[in-house]
A and B are shown apart, each in its own frame.
Chain A
Amino acid sequence: MTEHISPPLDLSPPVSDEIRQTTCYMCACRCGINVHLKDGKVKYIEGNKAHPVNRGVLCAKGSAGIMQHTAPSRLRAPMKRTGPRGSGEFEEITWEEALTLAADWLGPIRESAPQKLAFFTGRDQSQSFTGWWAQQFGTPNYAAHGGFCSVNMAAAGIYTLGGAFWEFGAPDWERTKLFMIFGVAEDHDSNPIKMGLGRLKERGAKVIGVNPVRSGYNAIADEWVGITPGTDGLFILALVHELLKAGKIDVDYLCRTTNAPVLLDADGMFARDADGKELVWDRVTNSAQPFDKQGVKPALHGDFDGLTPVFGKLAERYLSDDYAPEAVAEQCGIPSDTIKRLAAELAQAAFEEEVVIDQPWTDFRGNRHDKMVGRPVSFHAMRGISAHSNGFQTCRALHMLQLLLGSVEVPGGFRFKPPYPKPVHAHPKPHAGVTPGKPLDGPHLGYPRGPEDLLIHDDGTARRIDKAFTWDAPMSAHGMMHMVISNAHAGDPYPVDVLFLYMANMAWNSSMNTKGVMEMLTDTNEDGSYRIPKIIYSDAYSSEMVAYADLILPDTTYLERHDCISLLDRPICEPEAVADSIRWPVVEPERPGHEGVRGFQTALIQLGVKLGLPGMVDADGNAIYKDYADYIVNHQRRPGIGPLAGFRGDGTESGRGAPNPNQIEAYKQNGGFWVEHLPEAAQFCKNVNMDYQQWAADMGFYPSDKPEPYLFQLYVEPMRKFQMAAEGKGDHQPPEHLRERLKIAMDPLPLWYAPYEETRIDVADFPLHALTQRPMAMYHSWGSQNAWLRQIHGRNPLYVSGDIWQEHGFKDGDWATLTSHHGEITVPVVRMDALNPKTVWTWNAIGKRKGAWALEPDAQEATKGFLLNHLIHELLPAKGDGLRWSNSDPVTGQAAWYDLRVRIARAAPRPQTAPDTGAQKNPVATGPDELEYGKEWT
Chain B
Amino acid sequence: MHPAVSIILFTALSGLGFGLMVFLGIDPPAKGGWVMAVFAALALGLSTVGLLASTLHLGHPERAVKAFSQWRSSWLSREGVVAVATLVTFGLYATLIVLFGVTVPLLGWLSAVLALITVYCTAMIYTQLKTVPRWRQPLTPVLFLLFALTGGALLSGHVTLSLWLLAALGIAQVAAWVQGDKALAASGSTMESATGLGPLGKVRLLEPPHTGSNYLMREMIHKIGRKHSQKLRIIALVLMVGLPLLLGLTVEVKHLAAAVIVLSHVAGLFVARWLFFAEAEHVVGLYYGARG
Q: Do chains A and B touch in the complex (CB under 8 A)?
A: yes
Bound together, the chains give a CA A792 to CA B212 distance in angstroms of 7
Q: For A846, give the chain B residue with the smallest CB separation.
A: B211
Cβ contacts A776-814/B at 8 Å (1 or 0 each): 000000000000001111110000000000000000000
Determine how close the nearest CB of chain B comes to the CB of A572; give it in whole angstroms.
31
The answer to whether B212 and A790 touch across the interface, beta carbons within 8 angstroms, is yes
Indicate which residue in A1, A2, A795, A834 contacts B211 across the interface (CB closer than 8 Å).
A795
The answer to whether A794 and B72 touch across the interface, beta carbons within 8 angstroms, is no
Given the complex, which residues of A lie within 8 Å of B73, measured CB to CB?
A: 1
Indicate which residue in A1, A790, A792, A834 contacts B72 across the interface (CB closer than 8 Å).
A1
**Given A1-B72, A2-B72, A832 and B211 touching (CB < 8 A)?**
no
Number of residue pairs A-B, CB distance < 8 angstroms? 21
Bound together, the chains give a CA A860 to CA B211 distance in angstroms of 9
Cβ contacts B197-228/A at 8 Å (1 or 0 each): 00000000010011110000000000000000
Max chain B C-beta neighbours (<10 A), residue from A792, A795, A832, A860: A792
Cβ contacts B103-129/A at 8 Å (1 or 0 each): 000000000000000000000000000
Bound together, the chains give a CA A791 to CA B213 distance in angstroms of 8
Determine how close the nearest CB of chain A comes to the CB of B292; give it in whole angstroms.
9
Bound together, the chains give a CA A832 to CA B73 distance in angstroms of 46
Bound together, the chains give a CA A792 to CA B209 distance in angstroms of 7
Determine how close the nearest CB of chain A comes to the CB of B91; give it in whole angstroms.
30
Cβ contacts B210-249/A at 8 Å (1 or 0 each): 1110000000000000000000000000000000000000
Bound together, the chains give a CA A794 to CA B212 distance in angstroms of 7
Bound together, the chains give a CA A791 to CA B217 distance in angstroms of 14
Given the complex, which residues of B lie within 8 Å of A791, measured CB to CB?
A: 210-212
Determine how close the nearest CB of chain B comes to the CB of A218; give it in whole angstroms.
13
Given the complex, which residues of B lie within 8 Å of A834, measured CB to CB?
A: 206
Bound together, the chains give a CA A1 to CA B211 distance in angstroms of 43
Give how many B residues have a beta carbon under 8 Å from the other chain's beta carbons.
7
Bound together, the chains give a CA A396 to CA B206 distance in angstroms of 35
Interface of chain B, helix or strand or loop or mixed?
Answer: loop
Bound together, the chains give a CA A1 to CA B212 distance in angstroms of 42
Give how many A residues have a beta carbon under 8 Å from the other chain's beta carbons.
12
Bound together, the chains give a CA A746 to CA B211 distance in angstroms of 45
Q: For B73, give the chain A residue with the smallest CB separation.
A: A1
Bound together, the chains give a CA A2 to CA B212 distance in angstroms of 42
The answer to whether A794 and B211 touch across the interface, beta carbons within 8 angstroms, is yes
The answer to whether B206 and A792 touch across the interface, beta carbons within 8 angstroms, is no
Bound together, the chains give a CA A562 to CA B275 distance in angstroms of 61
Bound together, the chains give a CA A794 to CA B209 distance in angstroms of 11
Given the complex, which residues of A lie within 8 Å of B212, measured CB to CB?
A: 790-792, 794, 860
Bound together, the chains give a CA A793 to CA B207 distance in angstroms of 10
Interface residues of B in 25-72 (CB under 8 A from A): 72
Given the complex, which residues of B lie within 8 Å of A830, measured CB to CB?
A: 206
Bound together, the chains give a CA A768 to CA B206 distance in angstroms of 21
Given the complex, which residues of B lie within 8 Å of A794, measured CB to CB?
A: 210-212
Bound together, the chains give a CA A834 to CA B203 distance in angstroms of 12
Determine how close the nearest CB of chain A comes to the CB of B167; give it in whole angstroms.
41
Q: For B206, give the chain A residue with the smallest CB separation.
A: A832
Max chain B C-beta neighbours (<10 A), residue from A1, A791, A830: A791
Given the complex, which residues of A lie within 8 Å of B206, measured CB to CB?
A: 830, 832, 834
Determine how close the nearest CB of chain A comes to the CB of B256; give it in whole angstroms.
48
The answer to whether A793 and B211 touch across the interface, beta carbons within 8 angstroms, is yes
Bound together, the chains give a CA A2 to CA B72 distance in angstroms of 8
Determine how close the nearest CB of chain A comes to the CB of B227; give it in whole angstroms.
16
Bound together, the chains give a CA A793 to CA B209 distance in angstroms of 9
Interface residues of A in 871-888 (CB under 8 A from B): none
Determine how close the nearest CB of chain A comes to the CB of B225; give it in whole angstroms.
13
Bound together, the chains give a CA A795 to CA B210 distance in angstroms of 10
Bound together, the chains give a CA A327 to CA B101 distance in angstroms of 103
Cβ contacts A847-870/B at 8 Å (1 or 0 each): 000000000000010000000000
Determine how close the nearest CB of chain B comes to the CB of A320; give it in whole angstroms.
40
Determine how close the nearest CB of chain B comes to the CB of A88; give it in whole angstroms.
25
Determine how close the nearest CB of chain B comes to the CB of A557; give it in whole angstroms.
23
Interface residues of A in 829-852 (CB under 8 A from B): 830, 832, 834
Determine how close the nearest CB of chain B comes to the CB of A861; give it in whole angstroms.
10
Bound together, the chains give a CA A793 to CA B210 distance in angstroms of 6
Determine how close the nearest CB of chain B comes to the CB of A388; give it in whole angstroms.
26
Determine how close the nearest CB of chain A comes to the CB of B7; give it in whole angstroms.
25
Given the complex, which residues of A lie within 8 Å of B210, measured CB to CB?
A: 791-792, 794
Given the complex, which residues of B lie within 8 Å of A1, measured CB to CB?
A: 72-73
Bound together, the chains give a CA A1 to CA B70 distance in angstroms of 10
Determine how close the nearest CB of chain B comes to the CB of A431; give it in whole angstroms.
47
Bound together, the chains give a CA A860 to CA B212 distance in angstroms of 9
Determine how close the nearest CB of chain A comes to the CB of B70; give it in whole angstroms.
9
Bound together, the chains give a CA A172 to CA B211 distance in angstroms of 37
Cβ contacts A167-205/B at 8 Å (1 or 0 each): 000000000000000000000000000000000000000
Given the complex, which residues of B lie within 8 Å of A790, measured CB to CB?
A: 212
Determine how close the nearest CB of chain B comes to the CB of A450; give it in whole angstroms.
49
Given the complex, which residues of B lie within 8 Å of A2, measured CB to CB?
A: 72
Given the complex, which residues of B lie within 8 Å of A832, measured CB to CB?
A: 206
Q: For A2, give the chain B residue with the smallest CB separation.
A: B72
Bound together, the chains give a CA A336 to CA B54 distance in angstroms of 66
Cβ contacts B59-90/A at 8 Å (1 or 0 each): 00000000000001100000000000000000
Max chain A C-beta neighbours (<10 A), residue from B206, B210, B211, B212: B211
Q: For B205, give the chain A residue with the smallest CB separation.
A: A830
Determine how close the nearest CB of chain B comes to the CB of A794; give it in whole angstroms.
4
Bound together, the chains give a CA A141 to CA B274 distance in angstroms of 68
Given the complex, which residues of B lie within 8 Å of A795, measured CB to CB?
A: 211
Determine how close the nearest CB of chain B comes to the CB of A185; give it in whole angstroms.
13
Beyond A1-B72, A791-B211, 8 additional contacts (C-beta under 8 Å) are A1-B73, A2-B72, A791-B212, A792-B211, A792-B212, A793-B211, A834-B206, A860-B212
Report, nearest first, the 8 A-B pairs whose CB atoms are least far apart: A791-B212, A794-B211, A791-B210, A795-B211, A792-B210, A794-B212, A793-B211, A1-B72
11 A-B interface contacts by CB (under 8 A)? A1-B72, A1-B73, A790-B212, A792-B210, A792-B211, A793-B211, A794-B210, A795-B211, A830-B206, A834-B206, A860-B211
